[in-house]
Chain A
């Protein structure tokens, strides 16, 4: 059974800092991995999707990397802004028609 761990559970940084969020998973035989953002009381917004054959994906100030062999993915946020404050969740998927397993998330607070 896939287990997903996100460290740290919470993070507070001043505006402008670069930061890294970590996602570890126990079963490295994944099809892809998706990073999401969730604002309080809202649904999830997709940020980045990395296929198993890829090493990284970039979108604006966000960069996600994937190391399947070690069961790790990281989400790098450059020049953080108060608007980045949210909970970030990662979700590796087992097969192309399989289930995704979600971590508990990292709650980020960016202070002005």
Chain B
């Protein structure tokens, strides 16, 4: 099955801890994205990557970090510097030409 997988589905973090969210795609897409969604709101872009070993900050990158060492993987680390990390995190990818975006099932992060 081709698609985008995110893990874990639910994640709980204590204050002061860093956590890493996984995003893997087997669609051979060039571009990958991380979004944050808060209740009742649309998506806000955290980071995006158009090619391996390159990525750009989105609108709300502070307190987050990413890497793109492989085409199929784009992990997101939520650091202790992110003051309000409780949210639903969505990963997406898009093929060459950056046309249609496809989304994973999401990870719900809760800070205890």
Interface residue ranges, A against B (CB under 8 Å) = 4, 32, 34, 36, 41-46, 49, 51, 89, 91, 93, 96-100, 102-105
Task: State the total of A-B contacts with C-beta under 8 angstroms.
Answer: 56
- Inter-chain CA distance A32–B98, complex, in Å, is 10
Q: Could you say which interface size class chain B belongs to?
A: 20 to 34
- Inter-chain CA distance A93–B99, complex, in Å, is 9
Residues of A within 8 A of B105 (CB): 42-43
A104 in contact with B41 given A44-B90, A45-B103, A46-B102 (CB within 8 Å): yes
A9 and chain B: residue at smallest CB distance: B40
Residues of A within 8 A of B103 (CB): 36, 43-46
8 contacts between A and B (CB under 8 A): A4-B42, A36-B103, A43-B90, A43-B104, A43-B106, A93-B98, A97-B98, A102-B35
Residues of B within 8 A of A41 (CB): 88, 106, 108
Chain A interface: which of B14-22, B43-51, B62-70?
Answer: B43-51
A34 in contact with B100 given A4-B42, A43-B105, A99-B48 (CB within 8 Å): yes
A96 and B45 within 8 A (CB):
no
A89 and B43 within 8 A (CB):
yes
**Distance to closest chain B CB from A63 (angstroms):** 17
- Inter-chain CA distance A41–B37, complex, in Å, is 11
A102 in contact with B104 given A32-B99, A93-B98 (CB within 8 Å): no
A96 in contact with B104 given A43-B90, A89-B43, A104-B42 (CB within 8 Å): no
Residues of A within 8 A of B88 (CB): 41
**Distance to closest chain B CB from A36 (angstroms):** 8
